[in-house]
Amino acid sequence: MKVVITGGAGMLGRRLALRILAKPELTGPDGAPQDVSKLVLFDAFDPVEAPSEDPRVEVVTGDICNRETLDSLIDGETDAVFHFAAIVSGGAEVNFDLGYAVNLDGGRNVLEAARRTGRCPKVVFASSLAVYGGERSVDDSTALTPQTSYGTQKAIGELLVNDYTRKGFVDGRTLRLPTIVIRPGKPNAAASGFASSILREPLQGDEVGNPVTPESRMLILSPKRAAQAFIEIHNADGASLGINRAVMMNGISPKVSEMLDVLSRYAGDAVADRVYSKPDAMVQEIVDGWAWYSDGARARALGMEPDASLEEIIETFVNEELDGTFVS
Ligand SMILES: NC(=O)c1ccc[n+]([C@@H]2O[C@H](COP(=O)([O-])OP(=O)(O)OC[C@H]3O[C@@H](n4cnc5c(N)ncnc54)[C@H](O)[C@@H]3O)[C@@H](O)[C@H]2O)c1
């Protein structure tokens, strides 16, 4: 099968690429796992560490806002598209026009290119819990009331996926993700990025500012569980998903103070003490608008499990990204 990942140089795109290259997990029309014969990683930038040695991988650099580029990328051979390219929350808030161009118009380009193939490929869209707003606890039926441009763009994207699916143009699916923690590498422009930074940087010996109050709570999910959930939603039976193709992924929801307590227990006080207070009103306002608790029955029914604990998330990060050691 041919698979295209937009945002293929990004954090989740790269992780999913490595996973689906490692073993056949994506199922075909007969429900059996199929080999990936071609994997196109599309992004505005070349991947820092692409799995490009693999002969099945093709790296394409371009702008998702360019419709012709998308038409040549998503062709009559394409079975599945994972649409991850995005201007993340902080970026879309700072640059209104860029956010709408990439997150809305770019997403429409993906759906149109998939539609033009005439073969109803699967399109798996990465949405966000930022589609909610003002509710402390959310479930599958909570109204979408986004309080940021990013959340609004994701909510519109979800509706487009539903409508293109209803028309039979694509076989769409949307996964609404909590904040992904611990994000490897450097911080990005996501308002939620601090939730990774306050764990990742101290474990690597660096001091880091925490922009929100200790009482702030984040719904979080590890990159490993997110990649697993993308495979599950790709493989889900479309008919059983029904008209609404969006599935809310559950997460765990520690307070920031609890995150630092767990870090201290796992790595020691000296590591946790590398986090200092650095209030940021914009980040606090965005984070205050997000949900604290999720109760996604659809995700549970599809076998998508959140992480067991924050300890597990930290341990997985240390083992997978830091070769099993941290700076004590
Ligand atoms: N990481 C999270 O906490 C989180 C939470 C909820 C939803 N999501 C969504 O999941 C998806 C993947 O997230 P991520 O953390 O891997 O993000 P990321 O920022 O690491 O990757 C996004 C990629 O999109 C690319 N991109 C941006 N503009 C582009 C353009 N004009 N043309 C082509 N590519 C472009 C970027 O270069 C980047 O590599 C995104 O859609 C994001 O909104 C992420």
CA of 46 to the centre of ligand 1 (A): 14
Q: Is the distance from the beta carbon of residue 124 to the nearest atom of ligand 1 less than 6 Å?
A: no
Cβ of 59 below 6 Å from ligand 1: no
**Residues 43, 63: Cα–Cα separation, whole Å:** 7
Confidence class of residue 50 from pLDDT cuts 50, 70 and 90?
low
pLDDT of residue 295: 94
pLDDT band at 51 (very low <50, low <70, confident <90, very high): low
Strand 275-277 relative to strand 208-210, pairing: parallel
- Predicted confidence at residue 191, as pLDDT, reads 80
For ligand 1, mutation pick of 84, 180, 182 (most atoms within 8 Å of CB): 84
294 Cα: distance to centroid of ligand 1 (angstroms): 22
Q: What is the mean pLDDT of the chain?
A: 94
Per-residue pLDDT reduced to its tens digit, 8-18: 999 999 999 99
pLDDT at 238 over 90: yes
pLDDT at 198: 97
pLDDT over 90 at 222, yes or no: yes
Percent over 90 (pLDDT), the chain: 88
Written out in words, the top-level CATH class of the domain with range 2-180+220-248 is: alpha beta
State the pLDDT at residue 196: 96
Q: Where are the domains of the chain?
A: 2-180+220-248
> Quick one: pLDDT at residue 49?
67
Q: What is the tally of helices (H) and strands (E) in the chain? A: 14, 13
Does any ligand 1 atom lie closer than 6 A to the CB of residue 275?
no
Per-residue pLDDT, 52: 64
- The residues that are catalytic are 150
Does residue 179's CB lie within 6 angstroms of at least one atom of ligand 1?
A: yes
Model confidence band, residue 60 (pLDDT cutoffs 50, 70, 90): very high
pLDDT of residue 48: 66
Going 81 to 87 to 90 to 92, the CA torsion angle's sign is negative
CA separation for the pair 311, 318 (Å, rounded)? 11
Ligand 1 and 158: CB distance under 6 A: no
Cis peptide before 243 (omega within 30 of 0): no
Q: DSSP assignment of 124-144, as one string? A: EEEEEGGG--S-SEEETTS--
Between 52 and 55, the higher pLDDT residue? 55
Distance in Å, CA 13 to ligand 1 centroid: 8
Query: Ligand 1 centroid to 85 CA: how many Å?
Result: 5
Convert the pLDDT of each residue in 163-215 to its tens digit. Answer: 999 999 999 999 999 999 999 987 777 788 999 999 999 999 999 999 999 99
Tell me the pLDDT band of 150, cut-offs 50, 70 and 90.
Answer: very high
Q: Which of 211, 202, 241 is nearest to 322 (CA)?
A: 202
